[in-house]
Amino acid sequence: MQYKRILLKLSGEALMGQKQYGIDPRRLSEYANDIREIAEKGVQVAIVIGGGNIFRGVAGASNGMDRVQGDHMGMLATVINGLALQSALENTGVQTRLQSAIHINEVAEPFIRRRAIRHLEKGRVVIFGGGTGNPYFTTDSAAVLRAIEIDADVILKGTRVDGIYTSDPEKDENATKFDYITFDDVLKKGLKVMDTTAFTLSQENELPIIVFDMNKKGNLYKVVSGEKVGTKVNL
C-alpha cells in the first residue's frame, strides 16, 4: 500500500445513491466494504462525512432561515451520516470510533486529536462528524483540517466523477481528464476541486488531494495501493 494513513472525504450526497434524499442502505454497505478492504491491509483510515443529503445551511438561508441556525442543522446532519456509516462499517466487522466536533456525548466521542491518532494506531476507523464545529465552513474544510491535524499522507475525495477535467464532463463531451495537476494550475484554470478555503488550506500545508470515483467498486483500494486512478493534485 502506498499510503499508510489516509483521510477519506465522502459527501453526504454520495450516500443518497439513487434516492433523492437521505441514506441509501445499499450504497452505505458498498462503501463500508470498500473501506474494510483497505483497513484490513493495515491502512489507517479516517473519514470526514458531509451532510448535504440531509441539510445544508446555505439552502436554509436561501429560504429565509438564519444561516448559523441552518449550519448547526447541517453539522448535525453530518453526525447522523457518521452514525449510519459507523453502523455499516461495524456490520462488516470493522472497529470504529465516531468523534464529533460538536459535543453530543451520548452518541459520539468529542474530537480529541491525540485520541483520534491512538484509535488509528490501534486499527480503528475514525469517523469525524460535525464538520469543523463552526458555521460558515464546509465539510471539505473539515476534511483538510482533520487530515493535517492527524498528519494524514493524503486526502482522498471520493466523488461520482473519476477525476478533475478541463471542463465539466457531464456537460462538455470534449472535456479531458488530468492524471496530475498542481494546486497553482487548478487555481489558474479556475477548476473546482473543493471550496477555496479548503483548497488553499491543503495547498499551504502541502497535503496532496486525490479526486476519484468512489462509486466504482475497488477504486478506493486501487487509489490507496498507488494505482493511477483519478486525479492527483500536488505542489
Residues that bind ligand UDP (CB under 6 A): 11-13, 50-52, 56-58, 70-71, 74-75, 77-78, 131-132, 134-135, 137-142
Tell me the H-state helices in the chain.
Answer: 25-40, 57-62, 67-91, 113-121, 139-149, 183-188, 196-204, 219-224
Q: The cell 491518532 sits on which residue? A: 117
Q: How far is the CB of 227 from ligand UDP (least distance, A)?
A: 25
Q: How far is the CB of 168 from ligand UDP (least distance, A)?
A: 17
Provide φ and ψ at 97, rounded to 5°. Answer: -135, 140
Q: How far is the CB of 133 from ligand UDP (least distance, A)?
A: 6
Residue of minimal Cβ distance to ligand UDP? 50
Q: How far is the CB of 24 from ligand UDP (least distance, A)?
A: 14
Q: Which is nearer to ligand UDP, 78 or 96 (CB)?
A: 78
Cα–Cα separations (whole angstroms), residue 197 to 136, 138, 143: 11, 9, 11
Q: Which is nearer to ligand UDP, 15 or 164 (CB)?
A: 15
CB atoms within 10 A of CB 211: 27
Give the Cα separation of 95 and 123 in Å (integer). Answer: 8
Q: Count Cβ neighbours within 10 Å for each residue of 76-113 and write b for 16 or more, e otherwise.
A: bbbbbbbbbbbebbeeeebebbbbbbbebeeebbebee
Q: How far is CA 41 from the centre of its chain?
A: 20
Q: Which is nearer to ligand UDP, 80 or 223 (CB)?
A: 80
Q: How far is the CB of 65 from ligand UDP (least distance, A)?
A: 10
Give the Cα separation of 26 and 89 in Å (integer). Answer: 12
Report which of 22, 83, 29, 26 is spatially closest to residue 53, judged by C-alpha positions.
22
Q: Which is nearer to ligand UDP, 11 or 86 (CB)?
A: 11
Q: How far is the CB of 225 from ligand UDP (least distance, A)?
A: 25
Q: Which is nearer to ligand UDP, 1 or 107 (CB)?
A: 107
Q: How far is the CB of 212 from ligand UDP (least distance, A)?
A: 16
Q: Which is nearer to ligand UDP, 168 or 176 (CB)?
A: 168
Q: Which is nearer to ligand UDP, 134 or 182 (CB)?
A: 134
